[in-house]
Amino acid sequence: MLNISKKSLVSQIDDLVDLYREYAKTPIPICAELYDEHNERNKSLRIVWKMRDMDKLEATTFAKHYSIKMSKDCSEVKRISVIGDSVDVSNELSLDIIYIEFYK
């Protein structure tokens, strides 16, 4: 039989909770779209991310846009740049609405 003190067990549980809270802050991509811009060397990427806010006990969903510049032969990525600020889409009824609005 294991002899674990109550104080030690509580401390271990607190450590696990802290670890979970730290990793829960890491955004997770939930969908992405890649499309051509003016020519095949320029691409745009839109990623929708989800992140938990453990203090508020809710999830935040946000979209971020990126511009991708390819090499002349399109074999490698030369540069990736963030376009603008992240857009909070947490309060949208459906992500489908966002896609429709984005492509209008």
CA distance 10 to 30: 34
Q: What's residue 65's pLDDT? A: 92
One-letter amino acid for residue 65 of the chain: H
Digits of tens for pLDDT over the chain (104 positions)? Answer: 556 677 787 888 888 888 888 887 889 898 898 888 778 889 999 999 988 877 777 888 899 999 999 998 888 999 999 998 888 887 765 555 444 444 44
| Structural tokens at position 27 | 């955004």
Q: What's residue 4's pLDDT? A: 67
**68: closest CA among 32, 43, 85?**
43
48 burial level (CB within 10 Å; 0-12, 13-18, 19+): buried
**25: closest CA among 57, 54, 62, 66?**
54
